[in-house]
Amino acid sequence: MRLPRYAAGMAALAMAGAALHAQTTMIPARESRSAVRAQHGMVATSQPLASQVGLEVLKRGGNAVDAAIAVAAMLNVTEPMMTGVGGDAFVMVYWSKTGELKGLNASGRAPQALTLEHFQQKGLKQIPVRGMESISVPGAFDGWVTLLNRYGTMKLSDLLEPAIEYAENGFPVMEKTAEDWNAEVEVLKRDAASTATYLPQGRAPKPGEIFRNANLAKTLRALAAGGRDALYNGEIGRQMVAYFQQHGGYITMQDLAAQHSEWVEPISTDYRGYKVFEMPPNGQGLTALIALNILENFDLRSMWQQQRDAYYHTEIEAMKLAFADRNRYIADPKFAKVPVEQLLSKQYAKQRAALIKPGTAIQDPQPGMLMQGSTTYFTVVDKDHNAVSFINSLYEHFGSGVTAGDTGIVMQDRGSQFSLDPNSPNVIAPGKRPFHTIIPAMVFKDGKLLFSFGVMGGGMQPQGHVEVLTRIIDLGMGLQEAIDAPRFRYDGGSRVIMEDAMGADVIAALERRGHRRASVPNVRSAMGGAQLIMLDPETGALAGASDPRKDGQAVGW
């Protein structure tokens, strides 16, 4: 789509920019650090080395897309449990010269050999989360190449070189990365190639330990030389398929060759004068927009000032209702009709908002009735204010737990997100894309890009989008403060994961309303990780913020 360039709206934009500028020049007491500011370019990722690699590309004259490809490859090396060539990607790109906003769906499909009948014959009610049956065709690398071919200015080989060097020579593992790695040791031990590649000493690397990945370095070098064909039609693909065949897998060379990314139009809603853009189904971005439409019917700022448990209660209930619709309607639109327009209707949002009761939690949220008719997120903005909002994922930490032989490629388990209910729009079928959790986002004001942002973390992602945006737009928090602020995570039924920083009194009041605080091993990890870059409409400068729940940072020049 092409976004209008409003001359008449510049006064309103300046006023909005002044307000946000005032907010973000403050250093609120609850911020972990100040927002990062720069003029010429900015990168915000979950890994400091990846942020530096992206920044170096910008300094060498590369644009936001060039930097994004280098970052994606680098994260494959430094955060291998979260992302990589064996996963999927969704990307949103804003091109400032033309005002064009495009989305790229680089999610893979079910292999032809995995059918509903296959699982029915085995008597399964749910697709296994780990192992060969959970693996869908990897779409990420095709997405990288497709993105670079359309918008990039640099060679793929040059952009992959930093990741290759770090994989060959090693890097010191970060603290939270080491924690996530160690939690998956037993999963990795189930697969011989995963054990050999990612547990070379029979254990996960410790914080600060130098980790080298010669197999992945060799693969990245082959991809740098051969491009898309090296994986989807060539030697890397043949190595992968050979390993699958030896160990009871299902993906064939025909499945790989058929994989192609798709350019799509982002979907949006207006939230209190801000245009929020998400990716369309098969992703869950629609969920965040539904929740924002519901919340627009409430005075969140007054609730925050007067009774914070009422504020959290209202947001939790809105997410419950949005998730009920998500679980009922979102699927691959090539195989099922997804009623996006009806779900985004403001009238529909009013009907859903009316279900929220001030003193009582909804115990059994149902979808609305309609008329028939470990992930990594990062963002880059360059000197021309082109912006990339990019998310790349294996789904679970280390995905399926399967590494494709000596390639070093960890395979995603996104196929586990298909349903085995024949009546579900998300029922598995050969060549079909599964329901997807990974969602990049952008926010515009009066036709101008204001934020490029995202929050990784499975089902936390639309909730994180809503929580970060409402804290900025409704509560007037600064960028870093909004990311640092305590979060909740609706976990199904009446279960809600809550950070202690919400306050014992607030949590107790929410429990009295019927919200049941869920216990998880690592609450901090359950809240995902946000990255955000703002284009200050008053000064033209960039401001970035990075989630302290992850290892990363925003950097600029």
Q: Which residues touch 437 (CB under 8 Å, ≥6 apart)?
A: 283, 284, 375, 393, 395, 417, 458, 459, 461
Instruction: For the chain, 557 residues long, give each residue's pLDDT as a single digit of tens.
Output: 554 433 333 333 344 444 454 444 333 445 778 999 999 999 999 999 999 999 999 999 999 999 999 999 999 999 999 999 999 999 999 999 999 999 999 999 999 999 999 999 999 999 999 999 999 999 999 999 999 999 999 999 999 999 999 999 999 999 999 999 999 999 999 999 999 999 999 999 999 999 999 999 999 999 999 999 999 999 999 999 999 999 999 999 999 999 999 999 999 999 999 999 999 999 999 999 999 999 999 999 999 999 999 999 999 999 999 999 999 999 999 998 899 999 999 999 999 999 999 989 998 888 775 543 368 899 999 999 999 999 999 999 999 999 999 999 999 999 999 999 999 999 999 999 999 999 999 999 999 999 999 999 888 999 999 999 999 999 999 999 999 999 999 999 999 999 999 999 999 999 999 999 999 988 998 999 999 999 998 899 999 999 999 999 999 99
Structure-token match 């602020």, residue found: 485
Token couple for 532: 């955000």
The torsion angles phi and psi of 518, rounded to 5 degrees, stand at: -85, 140
The three state secondary structure string of 45-78 is ECCHHHHHHHHHHHHCCCCHHHHHHHHHHHHHHH
Predicted pLDDT of residue 166: 98
Predicted pLDDT of residue 537: 85
| Contact assessment for residue 26 and residue 478, using Cβ atoms and an 8 Å cutoff | yes
Position 244, amino acid: F
Nearest to 66 by CA among 35, 74, 406, 117: 74
* Edge-to-edge strands, sheet with 516-517: 488-490, 495-498, 516-517
**If phi over 0 gives left and psi between -120 and 50 gives alpha, with beta otherwise, what is residue 293?**
alpha
Please write the tens of the pLDDT for every residue from 13-25: 344 444 454 444 3
Find the distance separating the first CA and the last CA of the chain, reported in whole Å: 30
Q: What is the rounded CA–CA span in Å between residue 538 and residue 18? A: 6
| Contact assessment for residue 389 and residue 453, using Cβ atoms and an 8 Å cutoff | yes
320 CA to centre of own chain: 20
| Contact assessment for residue 473 and residue 270, using Cβ atoms and an 8 Å cutoff | no
Count of residues in the chain: 557
Predicted pLDDT of residue 262: 97
Strands (E), 322-464: 376-381, 387-393, 441-445, 448-456
Position 255, amino acid: D
Predicted pLDDT of residue 176: 94
Inter-axis angle of helices 235-246 and 214-226, nearest 10: 130
Predicted pLDDT of residue 521: 87
pTM: 0.92
Q: In Å, how far are 145, 319, 428 from 259, measured between CA atoms?
A: 12, 33, 17
Nearest to 13 by CA among 471, 450, 478: 450
Nearest to 403 by CA among 213, 175, 551, 259: 213
Token couple for 273: 């004068």
The torsion angles phi and psi of 544, rounded to 5 degrees, stand at: -125, 150
Residues designated catalytic: 375
Q: What is the rounded CA–CA span in Å between residue 118 and residue 278? A: 34
Please write the tens of the pLDDT for every residue from 402-412: 999 999 999 99
Please write the tens of the pLDDT for every residue from 239-291: 999 999 999 999 999 999 999 999 999 999 999 999 999 999 999 999 999 99
Please write the tens of the pLDDT for every residue from 337-383: 899 999 999 999 999 999 999 989 998 888 775 543 368 899 999 99
Q: What is the rounded CA–CA span in Å between residue 242 and residue 249? A: 9
Q: What is the rounded CA–CA span in Å between residue 46 and residue 438? A: 15
Predicted pLDDT of residue 21: 43
Structure-token match 């000596």, residue found: 406
Q: In Å, how far are 210, 261, 378, 519 from 459, measured between CA atoms?
A: 32, 23, 17, 16
